[in-house]
Amino acid sequence: MSGLQSYSVWDRTTRIFHWLNAICILLLIMFGVMILNHNAIGIDSSEELILKKLHAWVGYVFIINLIWRYVWGFIGNRYARWGAVLPVGKGYISSLKEYLAGFKAGNPVHYLGHNPAARLSVSILFLLITVQAMTGLVIAGTDIFYPPFGGYIQEWIAPVGVNPADLVPGTRDLYDPDAYAEMRAFRSPILTVHEYNSFLIMFLVPLHIIGVIVTDIKEGSGLISAMFTGKKMFASKPVDSEE
Ligand code: HEM
């Protein structure tokens, strides 16, 4: 193909975030599905505890990477910033209508950064993974006494006269039974959100992948390789390019 020009779009931090996030989510889904189905696949309670710990450790990497991306949305390049990612701002709705009409007609408006439809879908993904990170942190505290909430949970369920730090996950010997029951009731809706939200994530991840493949075919801009190289290719200047 001739006449194509290369434009820089995704900075290195955004690309590293994207692939680290994808790897973490795949591992979290894998361990999460195993925890959820531990009885069916014959995992005993000590093995389940190991799985929960592995799941939480990957979860910390996932959360740190996500927090760094929130910060990068304020200091990264113009395509990584929240103003170019969130589906808000003057003219957003009309640009979305225009983009969808062009897409249907086989002639989409070319955007270097996220197109208006992608801004919507990426923001939904950010929202879901944020809910998953927050609920995960709470249940890691209630379940395996992991930080940042584990210490408070141990204090909550330790009987008078017992050092909260001596409470071990998985063995209820030292727990105060009433406080433990209260804590489980507190945790139950949070675990339910973590579980159902994970189903939404498992549904949307394949849709996200299908979406980028279809857009890449329609646009021919190298959308997928751009998450490796940082560059997209266009025959004419994209509407949001400053180059
Ligand atoms: C995309 C991210 C994530 C996905 C898809 C995911 C998925 C899941 C699933 C399916 C379960 C099983 C739920 C159940 O047993 O009812 C689970 C359990 C758990 N998750 Fe996550 N999770 C994610 C992130 C996190 C994070 C960031 C943490 C904390 C650092 C975390 C901590 C936990 C813990 C401790 C459990 C065990 C709960 C239990 O069954 O007792 N998760 N996760």
Domain extent listing, the chain: 5-143+201-234
pLDDT at residue 2, rounded to an integer: 55
List all residues whose CB is within 6 A of at least one atom of ligand 1.
25, 28-29, 32-33, 35-36, 52, 55-56, 59-60, 62-63, 129, 132-133, 136-137, 139-140, 143-144, 191, 194-195, 198, 201
Hey, what amino acid is at 56? A
Task: Look at ligand 1, atom 27, and give the residue with the nearest C-alpha.
Answer: 59
Task: Look at ligand 1, atom 35, and give the residue with the nearest C-alpha.
Answer: 140
For the CA of 63, the nearest atom of ligand 1: 27
For 119, half-sphere exposure in the C-beta direction (CA atoms, 13 angstrom radius) is 23
User: Phi/psi at 133 (nearest 5 deg)?
Assistant: -65, -45
Cα 13 to Cα 48: distance, rounded to the nearest angstrom: 34
Report the DSSP beta bridge partners of residue 60: none
pLDDT at residue 3, rounded to an integer: 83
**CATH topology for the 5-143+201-234 domain:** Fumarate Reductase Cytochrome B subunit (1.20.950)
Q: 194 alpha carbon to ligand 1 midpoint, in Å? A: 6
The model's pLDDT over 82-120, given as tens digits with 9 standing for 90+, comes to 999 999 999 999 999 999 999 999 888 999 999 999 999
Cα 59 to Cα 7: distance, rounded to the nearest angstrom: 34
The model's pLDDT over 140-182, given as tens digits with 9 standing for 90+, comes to 999 999 999 999 999 999 999 999 999 999 888 899 999 999 9
Task: Look at ligand 1, atom 21, and give the residue with the nearest C-alpha.
Answer: 136
pTM over the 0.85 mark: yes
The model's pLDDT over 34-62, given as tens digits with 9 standing for 90+, comes to 999 999 999 999 999 999 999 999 999 99
